[in-house]
Amino acid sequence: MSAAKPFEQLMQLPAAVRQYLLITFNYWSFTLTDGALRMLVVLHFHQLGYSPLAIAMLFLFYEIFGVVTNLLGGYLGARLGLNRTMNLGLGMQVFALAMLLVPAASLPLWLAGVPWVMAAQALSGVAKDLNKMSAKSAIKLLVPKGEQGKLYQWVALLTGSKNALKGAGFFLGGMLLALFGFELAIAIMASLLGLVWLLSVVMLKKDLGKAKNKPKFTEIFSKSRSVNILSAARLFLFAARDVWFVVALPVYLASKFAWDHWAVGGFLAVWVIGYGIVQALAPKITGNQHQGLGVGAAPDGRSALIWASLLAFVPALIACAMQFSFYPEASLLLGLMLFGALFAVNSSLHSYLIVSYSSEDAVSLDVGFYYMANAMGRLVGTVLSGLVYQAYGLAACLWISSIFIGITAVISIKLPRQVVGKD
């Protein structure tokens, strides 16, 4: 087969499918560097002797600026087009990586070290949420109206594959740190992502997602009751994950079990890859595959309630096993695998529901508001991950996780029982 044959086949695909593939490739590439960067920073600064709380603070601006970006990014996407916000996110991530290559000696004393890393992380947080908001919003516009089952499958595939790549990014970060050191690892990622950005600038459809009626700035807050309820549930769901995942778990594995960089990065990679695979398979797992049965074949608020209720028990059981020293290492690792599978289904359901609830003409506004709540949950979880772990240990982080998921389930009671995509 000639080299041109695959390209010819690609160009024969429907335009919407080609755009979906390009958006997914952009999202994959960004996520790979994002996951690797997070692992590089956590392990590098742990190696330098930073405390868990200090490491958590390195990500503080990443999460804070993610909140702001999601709130404003939806507005920008509606006015400028999702192609521009996606390309802007890719470009900013390249710049954030390049910032970490600047020699500390060339910076003012007050900015060198931790403040400079926090500033780079802030820019990366803006970039990540511009990219994610753009990708998730674009799917709504590429799927024909009324095909809720297909919309669920496309969102699940995009989200699941992205998280599988994020897991690979964790492993990549640990591997690059072990093989090349911090600076060279950053340089490699910046170069490769720069090539992806150039491809996206040339190939991504112009004016994708631009609203017909320009939204006012005051419309950045969602007026939809369904979107507001789902956003509140999302906040507590992601706070429940990051309260143990961001800082507490990698530091615990490195300090208590004496795992090296390869092992820590490898386990977190396997966890997130498995999580991503389950997300992609969520339509099959929940039994809501679309087979010409109409809108009712897609999941609804009752589905979100059931799966959140199941998940709430898992971190509590892991915490009990650790506190009673019941095979603590095995209980932790196997328990977190189960948590990852159930969390993946919850996350995939939420990702579908927000796209389905959103208004087509201003989809980025609703999706941006929802991911603002997601980022707020990550911010809360990140701060608590360092603070609670340093003061009380990993088991306390898991108890808080269980409480947060319980709150998610209670909020989910108010979600609509039937999903109807809005025009």
Tens digit of pLDDT for each residue in 122-132? Answer: 888 888 878 87
What pLDDT is stored for residue 39 in this prediction?
84
pLDDT the model gives residue 423: 37
Q: pLDDT tens digits, residue range 97-113?
A: 999 888 767 777 667 67
Tell me the whole-structure pTM to 2 decimals.
0.71
Which residues lie below 8 Å from residue 116, measured CB to CB, with a gap of 6+? 99, 102, 104, 107
Q: How far apart are CA 246 and CA 383, in angstroms?
A: 9
Q: Are 213 and 361 in contact (CB under 8 A)?
A: yes
Question: Are the C-beta atoms of 356 and 221 separated by less than 8 Å?
Answer: no
What is the average per-residue pLDDT within 143-169? 73
Predicted pLDDT at 377: 93
> Mean pLDDT over residues 9-30, rounded?
72
What does the mean pLDDT of the chain come to? 80
For residue 374, name the pLDDT band (cuts at 50, 70, 90). confident
Percent of the chain with pLDDT over 90: 26
pLDDT higher at 389 or 290: 389
| CB neighbourhood size of 175 (10 A) | 18
Q: What is the pLDDT of residues 51-97, one digit of tens each?
A: 877 887 777 788 788 777 777 766 676 677 777 888 888 999 999 99
**Is pLDDT at 408 greater than 80 in this prediction?**
yes
Q: Does residue 318 carry a pLDDT above 90?
A: yes
Helix residue ranges per DSSP H, 256-362: 261-280, 282-285, 301-323, 328-357
Examine the pLDDT at 396 and tell me if it is beyond 80. yes
Please tell me the least confidently modeled range out of 206-215, 308-317, 341-350, 373-382: 206-215
Q: Taken in order 399, 51, 54, 88, is the CA torsion positive or negative? A: negative
pLDDT at 373 over 50: yes
Residue 294 has pLDDT above 60, yes or no: no
- Rounded CA gap, 39 and 364, in Å? 30
Spans of all domains in the chain: 15-207+217-412
d(Cα 183, Cα 208) in Å, to the nearest integer? 36
Over residues 250-261, the mean pLDDT reads: 86
Q: Which range, of 277-281, 329-333, 355-359, averages the lowest pLDDT?
A: 355-359
pLDDT at 290: 42
Question: Which pLDDT score, from 0 to 100, does residue 245 have?
Answer: 87
* CATH for 15-207+217-412, options being 1.20.1250.20, 1.20.120.1200, 1.10.760.10, 3.30.2310.20: 1.20.1250.20
Tokens, residue 273 = 């890859």
Residue-wise pLDDT tens digits, 176-226:
888 888 889 999 999 999 999 998 888 776 655 555 555 555 555 556 788
Contact 379, 243 (CB under 8 A): no
CA neighbor of 407 nearest in space, from 312, 314, 339: 312
d(C-alpha 236, C-alpha 384), whole Å: 13
Instruction: Kindly tell me the sign of the dihedral angle through the C-alpha atoms of 326, 330, 332, 336.
Output: negative
User: What are the angstrom distances between the C-alpha of 279 and each of 92, 165, 262, 294?
Assistant: 27, 12, 25, 22
Q: Would you say residue 421 has pLDDT above 50?
A: no
